[in-house]
Structures are given as structure tokens and as C-alpha cells.
Amino acid sequence: MSNELVWDRPEPPSKPSPTPLSRELIVNAAIRLADEGGLDEVSFRKVAAALNAGPMRLYGYVETKDELLDLMVDEVYGEIALPDPGTDWRAALTQIAHGIRTAAKRHPWLVDLLGGRPHRGPNSLAHIEASLATLDGRPEFPTIDHVLGAVSAVMAFVRGAVGSEIAEAREERSSGMTEEQWQAASGPYMQRMLATGKFPTLAKVMFEAEHTNAEPWFDTGLNYVLDGIATRHSPA
Amino acid sequence: MSNELVWDRPEPPSKPSPTPLSRELIVNAAIRLADEGGLDEVSFRKVAAALNAGPMRLYGYVETKDELLDLMVDEVYGEIALPDPGTDWRAALTQIAHGIRTAAKRHPWLVDLLGGRPHRGPNSLAHIEASLATLDGRPEFPTIDHVLGAVSAVMAFVRGAVGSEIAEAREERSSGMTEEQWQAASGPYMQRMLATGKFPTLAKVMFEAEHTNAEPWFDTGLNYVLDGIATRHSPA
DNA sequence: GTATCGCTCAATACACTGTATCGCTGACAG
DNA sequence: CTGTCAGCGATACAGTGTATTGAGCGATAC
């Protein structure tokens, strides 16, 4: 039982083999499987099969399944474009937030992993660094604690918002309904619940709200957070 | 395969039995197991064993494991005190946010389930209703969309913040270290990463930030969100 | 050239998981 | 007392992550 992290262990040298293997190949195969069929499709047996290899061969490259999942998360972080240094902090954080959102839409399983463990892979670290760096040094954020507080708040919002959005999208897709159908059908349950009159405000939301795309909601919330940060850190 | 939700199916009548069963007993047993050993300890066999019953007996009360998890989540929502109607919206949302946070600290597995599926249990609904109701009708929030936007933003932040916090706490506990130990040791990995100089701001955070309790961070972020909402919805 | 070592990978095995199926059993209906 | 039927336990199945084992093979030592 090595206590090292994945990121600490070098990849084994590539042997000549009928079907060569590498962490990258394994991770990409796993991501493809997860994209197509959800996280449940990611098992050592299936990933290995997708690479024409025996399941146990993966253990040469990855010590445990959680490690594989960590690698997948970091790979996705690598897909997200980072803002150019020097960008206005508000624009930079907005760009990062949207980057995470679109990545999560491309890889819906990501949200199941975001909550799990802290992410310490190189791409994740680069990501955090970029976020922090856009605030560090600005006069509005005098100490590193201010920087950290602001970035944490934005990241927390993004994780939560993306999580909810993806969860709902998944449920809609799995029930094979559009939003209006869902609102109309929604199982008899919701209707009866709303009919009890115990949830008047919720009923208003369901019947009166303009349910446009989820994107505007995301932007609204994000701007709340950014506004809050801005007002707290502007000359009084 | 009944398409009904759990909340739609009445509980079977209680039979006289050496060891009586009910949804409540099952859910409480499952929660206790999860509190003690994490979500992995929650299996039909183990829950049933804790109740001196055969695993298959649970299927009379619960149709699937996901249903059991849904019931667990809703049970926890039931533990959270709701604000008295009439409370100032800012105080009310703050109270709810802290309620969720402390519930998640009591039941760390909750964060793994929050991201999963939307919550439609009665307690969850009551919760959402209460949150919405504290904003609805105030002049600052003229339409139901404003109400929904604000509540969604706060909830998104709470979910994300609590998720990060619990994830970190779990990692610390699992590695059996306090925060300072972790920061010092942290595996050779972090130190080497920071030593590369590619993450200067991150390094500053690790070495210079006042890592007090996580609670202040939560409050800071929450106030950012609330401030943002307040400024957008105040007379210009 | 042969023998031995060490490494790599596949097969097998184990302890689990969620859940479908099947027969028993015990309570009630007539 | 007999028939029916519901509820429960045992069993079974397909799947999981991973430990162990053993076979093959290439490189090195003599």
C-alpha cells in the first residue's frame, strides 16, 4: 500500500505490446465510456475491454479506481481554457465559471466527482492558480485572505449551480421528457403536492415562472456573487 | 416496474412480527450506518442486518436502493429548522444556509447525495417553499423569477460551499491529520508542486493565509451572495 | 548455450453489491 | 378443515473492485 498520490508516481515505461497502454489511453477510454453511459459504465473490466486488455493490466498504471476517477477529473480540467493573464478579474472569473459549466455539460459525470474529493492534479492546480492570480495584487484585495475568500465563493457557487443544473438535465433526459412535458406530467405526485396548498410559492414558480434556458439563471447567480464581491471590495 | 415515486406509495401496513419494520426504522438504521461509516456502509444486507431482518424484506418498504437514499436525504431535510415566517429575508436565508451546513456536518454523506438527483420529498419541498416564501411578496422582488433567481443562487452557493468543506474535512479525517499537519506534510507532492514556482499565488495561500475555521469562509461567501442580491434589488 | 532471475500480464478467486425468482409458511376465508 | 394468498427467506445471477497466483518470456550470468 503506497501512500503516494497518483501524481507522484511516474508512469511505467511503455513496453512493446500488441495493444500499448498508457495512462492517457486509459483515462481517455474511461472518459469516453462515462460520456456515453454515465459513471456506471466506468469499471475496470469495461475500460480494459475497450482497450483490448485484461482488467488487471490497468493496475500497472493506476493503483485504484479512485485514482482513475481523479485522473479523469484532472483531464477535464485540462480541457478548460484559462483566461489570459491581465484580464479584468470579473471577466476572468466569469470565463472560468463558464468554462467549468460547459465542461460539465460535455461530461455530465463530472458533477458526481466534483463533490467527492479535493482535486490536486496538475491541471486542477493550474486552474486554482489562475483563479487566484487574477485577483492577487489588485488593490481591491489587499490580503491573500480576501483573494481566497472571493475565489472560494465563486467556485462554491459554480459547483453548486452546475450540480443542480446537470442533475435536472439528467432527470429530464432519463425520463425522456421536455421541460414542459415534465411540468405537465411530473408524475401525479407533484400535482397532488401542489394541490394541497401547502406550497403556494412553489406552485407559483412552477406555473408562472418563465422557465427559459438554464443559462440565464447561471449568469444571474454568478453576477450576484461577483456584485457582492465588488461592492465589499470597492472604496466605500 | 412501477413508475411511481416513493412519496406516492403508501407504506405497507405493519404486520405483527418478531422484529417490526417500517420505512422510518429502515431509514434511521441506514442513516446511522452512514453516519458511522460513510455511504459505503449502507447496503441492503447491512441495513437489514442492523434490523435483524433478511435483506429481501426491505423490498416490501422500498423499491430500490436509490429510493432508500432519497428517503435518507429527505429525513435529513426534516431535521433542519425552518425560519419563522415573517423573518427578514436576509436572516431567513442565512438561517437556512447554516441549517444545511450543520446538517451536512452531522451527516457528511449528505453532500454525496445532494448533487445526485433533484429532491422532491415532502421535507425537501417544505424547505424550498420556505426559502421561496421568505422572498415572495417583498417589493424588492417584483416577479417570481426574481425570487427564484435569488433563492437558486443562495442554494447553489450553499451546496458548493458545503461540498468543498465536507470533502476537505473528510480527507483530513481519513488521513488522520490536523490541518497544520496536513499543510506541513501534505505528501511530498504538494511541496514539490509548489516548489516548481508555477503556482505562486497558491503557494501564498498555503503559507500566508490565516487558515482559521472554515465557518468564517462560509459566512464570507454567503454574505457576498446576499450582498449581491441586495444591491441588485435595492432602489438605485 | 544454458540456466536463472525478474517482470509482466492474464486467469482465477474472493468478498461484496443490488435485485429477480422461487418456494415455504403461516394467517385468514369459506 | 381446506384453499388461497401475502409476505418472507433462501437462493441465484450478474456485476463490482481488487489480491493472489501462475505462466510465459526477455534479459542477464556463467
> In this structure, are B103 and B202 located in the same domain?
yes
* Nucleotide C12: closest residue by CA–C1': A56
Inter-chain CB proximity A205 and B229 less than 8 Å: no
On average, the pLDDT of chain A sits at 87
Model confidence at B188, pLDDT cuts 50, 70, 90, reads confident
Model confidence at B1, pLDDT cuts 50, 70, 90, reads very low
Model confidence at B185, pLDDT cuts 50, 70, 90, reads low
In a domain, residue A1? The reply is no
Closest CA to A218 of A175, A157, A142, A144: A157
Q: What is the pLDDT of residue B95?
A: 97
Q: Global pTM?
A: 0.90
> In this structure, are B35 and B118 located in the same domain?
no
Q: What is the DSSP string of A167-212?
A: HHHHHHHHHT--HHHHHH-SHHHHHHHHHTTS-HHHHHHHHHS---
> In this structure, are A117 and A173 located in the same domain?
yes
- The reply to whether the CB atom of residue A16 sits less than 7 A from any atom in nucleic acid chain C is no
- Distance CA(A87)–CA(B173), nearest Å, equals 38
> In this structure, are A115 and A171 located in the same domain?
yes
Q: Give the CATH number of the domain where residue A135 resides.
A: 1.10.357.10
Higher pLDDT, B128 or A4: B128
Q: What is the pLDDT of residue B101?
A: 97
Report whether pLDDT(B4) > 90: no
Query: What 8-state DSSP symbol labels residue B15?
Result: P
> In this structure, are A61 and A152 located in the same domain?
no
Range of the structural domain that residue A150 is part of = 82-232
Q: What is the pLDDT of residue B214?
A: 80
Q: What is the pLDDT of residue B116?
A: 76
- CA dihedral of B96, B101, B107, B113, whole degrees rounded to 10: 80
Report whether pLDDT(B11) > 80: no
From residue A44, alpha-carbon distances to A24, A31, A56, A68, A119 in Å are 15, 12, 8, 9, 21
In a domain, residue B6? The reply is no
Model confidence at B181, pLDDT cuts 50, 70, 90, reads low
Model confidence at B18, pLDDT cuts 50, 70, 90, reads low
Cα atoms found within 13 Å of the Cα of residue B186, Cβ hemisphere only: 16
Single out the residue in A76, A105, A139 at which a domain terminates.
A76
- Distance CA(A33)–CA(A50), nearest Å, equals 9
Q: What is the pLDDT of residue A179?
A: 56
Single out the residue in A61, A76, A91 at which a domain terminates.
A76
Single out the residue in B46, B76, B106 at which a domain terminates.
B76
Model confidence at A2, pLDDT cuts 50, 70, 90, reads very low
Among chain B residues 32-71, those with CB within 7 Å of any atom of strand D? 53-57, 60
In a domain, residue A16? The reply is no
Between residues 141 and 170 of chain B, which touch chain A (CB distance below 8 Å)? 144-145, 147-150, 152-153, 155-161, 163-164, 167-168, 170
> In this structure, are B169 and B187 located in the same domain?
yes
Mean per-residue pLDDT for A145-167? 95
Interface test with B, best of A94, A171, A201, A204 (most B CBs within 10 A): A201
